[in-house]
Amino acid sequence: MKCLNSKWRDDAGSIDFIQIVVGLMIVAIASIGTFQALNYGNEKMNQQMRYRKAISIARSAVEYWQGRIHTDFDDKDPRVLQGNLNQVVDPTVLDLGDPTTDLDDVECYVRYGRLDPIDLLETGAGVDYWRINVKVTWWEPNQSRNTDPQLVTFTGTMVSAGI
């Protein structure tokens, strides 16, 4: 301690070599931290964009089933009614990114659950409408495939043409 006091007393007030090195390290650490914060924020915003697009894709799929139920629907066909939640489906592009390469594309999978006939007892008219449940799943670019995928669920209803 005596040694350090002696040092400060003798200090002529100018910057020395050690102070410069320490200053350099502080600036470097601050720069790295700022960049990491920027990248984190940017990635979070991209993630939100993908989430929003996934909702849009899910809503488009519900729209498809609403059209099917309304105009082109066989309510006796079990292949249609059971849904395809456990089946392999073609991927849909969720985030295109750089158009010159496919490597940064993020793909999602659109599946629908069982189509539920809803019968309101008070109407006494059989099936009143159908409930549609669509699920969109995808993995984020830095997410391991061994973890649970991101999930968006969208539910809609539609009356059939006969009703």
Partner 1 sequence: MNAPCIKFRRDDGWTFIEATISIVIMAIMVLGLTIVLLAFREQLDRSWAVRVMDQYGNDVIEQLTHELRNATDVEVRGSVGNTHRIDVKYLDPIRHDIFLTSHWRADLRNVRITHGNNDRVDPAFPPQQLGRGESYEIIQFTLSQYAADSPNEWERADRNRRKASFLEASYDIRFKIRYTRAATEVGGRNWTVEKEYFNRVYVRNKNLIVKKGITD
- Using CB under 8 A, pick the residue from 33, 34, 114, 123 that binds partner 1: 34
- Which position has the token pair 């999930």? 151
DSSP E strand boundaries for the chain? 92-95, 106-112, 116-118, 129-138, 150-158
Rg of the chain over Cα atoms, rounded to whole angstroms, equals 29
| Cβ-proximal residues to 153 (8 Å cutoff; 6+ apart), any chain | 58, 133, 134, 135, 136
98 binding partner 1? (CB under 8 A)? yes
User: Interface with partner 1 includes 33 (CB under 8 A)?
Assistant: no
The rounded distance, in Å, linking the Cα atoms of 26 and 125 is 75
1 binds partner 1 (CB under 8 A): no
111 sits near partner 1 (criterion: CB under 8 A) = no
User: Using CB under 8 A as the criterion, what x/- string covers residues 57-86 for binding partner 1?
Assistant: x-xxx-xx-xxx-xxx--------------
Regarding 89 and contact with partner 1 (CB under 8 A), the answer is yes
Find residue 153's DSSP bridge partners. 135
CB 113, min distance to partner 1, A: 17
The residue whose two tokens read 């089946």 is 87
Instruction: Give residues in contact with partner 1 (CB under 8 A).
Output: 3-4, 6-7, 10-12, 14, 16-17, 20-21, 23-24, 27-28, 31, 34-35, 38-39, 42, 45, 49, 52, 56-57, 59-61, 63-64, 66-68, 70-72, 89-90, 92-93, 95-100, 161
